[in-house]
Amino acid sequence: MDTYVIRQVSVFSENRPGRLAAIARALQDEKINILAFSIAEADGFGVVRALVDRPDRAFETLGSLGFNVAFTDVIAVKMRDEPGGLYEIARILGDAQINIEYSYAYSGKEGAVLILRVDDVQSAIQALLESGAGSMESSAFQ
């Protein structure tokens, strides 16, 4: 099951101009590719979430620059890139009583991909595999 668990890099960031640029610049300098990312914002601060091709290197690089970084386990699911694609995935997880804490998506050359942070990673993977929707292996990213 662990082959389906993907390590997302989560970076604490104050909400002020230039912080995202500083993070992106650091990743560029290390030639780390960002596959998907999102920003979550609260009262004056936020968390930058990114799926990158080399998470350990990203963690080290950002950490050495003083950023506060943590790994978060997420899963990724391929969606049909047409109406109803998101519904299908959301329904499977809902039926399995799995709560989605947050999610972000991208549509790339391999189709539409949904990244999910759920309350129960193992059960979510199981439900997706059993339903036939499938769960993407982490090796697809990292």
Partner 1 sequence: MFWNQKIETLTPAELSDLQLKRLKKTLESVQNVEFYQKQLKSAGIKPRDIRTLDDVSRLPFTRKQDLRDGYPFGFFAVPLREVVRIHTTSGTTGKPTVVGYTRNDLATWADLIARNMTMVGVTEDDVFQNMVNYGMFTGGLGFHYGAEAIGATVIPSATGNTRRQIEMINDFGVTVIHCTPSYAMHLAEVAEEMDSPLESLRIGLFGAEPWSDSMRTELEKRLGVTAYDSYGLSELFGPGVAFECQEREGLHIWHDCYLVEIIDPVTGEVCGDGERGELVVTPLAKEAMPLLRYRTGDITMLMEDGCICGRAKKIARITGRSDDMLVIRGINVFPSQIEHVLLQIAEVGSQFMVYVDRINHLDEMTIDVEINREYFSGELADLSRIQKKVVKELRDTLELRTTVRLVEPGTLPRFEGKAKRVIDRRNGL
* Positions in the binding site for partner 1 (CB under 8 A): 8, 10, 12-14, 40, 42-47, 66-72, 101
Question: Cβ(35)–Cβ(141) under 8 Å?
Answer: yes
Residues 6+ apart with CB under 8 A from 91: none
Minimum CB distance to partner 1 smaller for 12 or for 87: 12
The least distance separating partner 1 from the CB of residue 54, rounded to whole angstroms, comes to 18
Minimum CB distance to partner 1 smaller for 72 or for 126: 72
The least distance separating partner 1 from the CB of residue 83, rounded to whole angstroms, comes to 30
Minimum CB distance to partner 1 smaller for 50 or for 79: 50
The least distance separating partner 1 from the CB of residue 87, rounded to whole angstroms, comes to 26
Q: How many other C-beta atoms can be found within 10 angstroms of the C-beta atom of residue 53?
A: 14
The least distance separating partner 1 from the CB of residue 38, rounded to whole angstroms, comes to 11
Minimum CB distance to partner 1 smaller for 69 or for 133: 69
Question: Cβ(76)–Cβ(114) under 8 Å?
Answer: yes
Distance CA 26, CA 31 (A): 9
The least distance separating partner 1 from the CB of residue 88, rounded to whole angstroms, comes to 27
Helices 85-95 and 121-131, axial angle in degrees (round to 10)? 120
- What single string gives the DSSP state of each residue in 45-106? EEEEEEEES-HHHHHHHHHHTT-EEEEEEEEEEEE-SSTTHHHHHHHHHHHTTPPEEEEEEE
Minimum CB distance to partner 1 smaller for 14 or for 82: 14
